[in-house]
Structure 1
Amino acid sequence: MRNWNTFQFHDRVRYADRVSASTQPAVEGWFATDESGAAYLIGSKCHLCGTFVFPPRANNCPNPACEGDELAQVPLSRRGTLWSYTENRYAPPPPYPSPDPFEPFAVAAVQLADEGLIVLGKVVEGTLAADLKVGIEMELTTMPLFVDDDGVERVVHAWRIAS
């Protein structure tokens, strides 16, 4: 296992290093991009009751009233309404990577437009909790999280205020 404090964060890595680094999701299978490069979340939908879930899974419907055990992977909405938010003001403990010095960041709970599912995610850099208001429209994007020991830029899904 990697030591958490050996990670380089994207804002701490020289520009030349960022350009040459390959980019990979921090968590495989949670999002993808379409032909235009726009990001979308990958969720699952129960064949029996139609319940959506994120992150995706192959079985075990999350609806307690459903006995369905087969879920299909589906693309989820790229837009939604800000349901709730907070600002993380403390660095996560090891083994989670954290920049030094730590800078606060906003986390958003967004209710997806078509599915009604609420999905948590970081809010893009430069947007703090003071910039957010419950009910505003948000859209999905991606952002770098860190550069790992192999020089790979690890990317996560993120929310930004819709344009």
Structure 2
Amino acid sequence: MEGPLTAVPGAGSRLRGSRCADCAVAAYPADPACPRCGGPAEPVVLSGTGTLWTWTVQRYAPKSPPYVPPAAGFTPFTVGYVELPEGVRVLAVLDVRPEDAEIGMPVSVTAGDGVPRAAGAAV
């Protein structure tokens, strides 16, 4: 099975997860086995939009290594869980200012450089 951020033809930069062939539970990242029943799971392309489930501001630089601080230094950023229609909650860096973040707001989700990214979606 390919990695969860692997490009899928026609999927653009959407996240890749898996869905159980037996009980239909979706998972992210993709896994060959179902987290609920242990049955076989097939790769799926997940929805590109969801709702912001919760969020916070990361005010401290992650531990290094593996984090490599940028030349300009660390800048706090917003992170949150986005709930997709498949029932999966994905942790993503939010391209939303903290004062604009609101639980339940619609967001779009894309595969980023190693981590999912979410931005406010047009309503």
TM-score, reference length from structure 1: 0.65
Q: Which 4+ runs in 1 deviate beyond 4 A?
A: none
Quote the offset at 1:84 in angstroms.
0.4
1:69-84 to 2 correspondences below 5 Å: 69-84=39-54
Q: Is the 8 A contact 1:91 1:98 kept in 2?
A: no
Q: Is the 8 A contact 2:78 2:98 kept in 1?
A: yes
Selected match of 2:109 from 131, 134, 140: 140
Quote the offset at 1:29 in angstroms.
2.1
Structure with the largest fraction of helix: 1
Q: Is the 8 A contact 2:15 2:111 kept in 1?
A: no
Q: Hey, what's the Cα distance between the residues in 2 that align with 1:155 and 1:48?
A: 30
Q: Hey, what's the Cα distance between the residues in 2 that align with 1:81 and 1:160?
A: 10
* RMSD, aligned CA: 2.0
The gaps in structure 1 that reach 5 residues or longer are 1-27, 144-153
Q: Hey, what's the Cα distance between the residues in 2 that align with 1:93 and 1:70?
A: 36
Query: What is the match of residue 35 of structure 2?
Result: 62
TM-score, reference length from structure 2: 0.84
Query: What is the match of residue 131 of structure 1?
Result: 100
